[in-house]
Amino acid sequence: MFIVEETIAGAEATQITKQRGESLLETAVRYAEERHWDVVPGTWLEVVDGTQRCSCDDAACPAPGAHPARPDWATQATGSATVARRMWQEQPDASILLPTGRTFDAISVPETAGFLALARLERMGSAPGPVTSAPDRRMHFFVLPGAAAKVPDLVRASGWTPSSLDLVALGAGAYVAAPPTRFGSRGAVQWACRPTPANRWLPDVEELISPLAYACGRDR
């Protein structure tokens, strides 16, 4: 299935996600330069007395090395490759966060539901936009901005109540961690569907909500 190929082999094949041997700085710059996504540096991982921990110093951090480093992170986000380069030069190990509600919103679903939705979309002949798969077992489907306001009504129109599904729309004020950001020792964020010239134009959430809602319903 194309899903496995995109997740594993595709990580090396695609230009924008050339992560092996490429620094976080280079990747962040390429997201801003090639995809015109806003980027902002997050926390990073530190090794103290042989133990890996988040730079936030919270021993119980739920997303070590993969969350905002400062409360005003949203105002620090930039779509400028030059500014992004300068920010990661100051902290080369900082995670890469992509604010939502700007050039895209994101639909967050459990990993099992996400792969089921991708399989249904493939059978339907529908192409998703970029999709990330994170070590916290969540997948994020990138869609056109404005999705967060539409999702509750679209879910109801699909025959579900929003509270019954583990389907979350991320808009203004939220973010997703971008590959190759690491979640502590749990591994790195990967592309389930990598950014390509073919999916530069993101889908509207209306195109994805039916298979996503169905998959989340099956996953309950």
Q: Which residue has the tokens 């994805």?
A: 208
pLDDT the model gives residue 22: 80
pLDDT the model gives residue 173: 96
Note the pLDDT tens digit of each residue in 42-73.
999 998 887 889 999 998 999 999 999 999 99
Report whether 98 contacts 88 (CB < 8 A): no
Chain centroid to Cα 89, Å, comes to: 23
Q: How far apart are CA 190 and CA 6, in angstroms?
A: 10
Question: pTM of the entire structure?
Answer: 0.89
Phi/psi at 66 (nearest 5 deg)? -145, 40
pLDDT the model gives residue 49: 80
All residues at 6 or more sequence positions from 214 whose CB lies less than 8 Å from its CB, including other chains: 117, 120, 158
Note the pLDDT tens digit of each residue in 181-190.
999 989 999 9
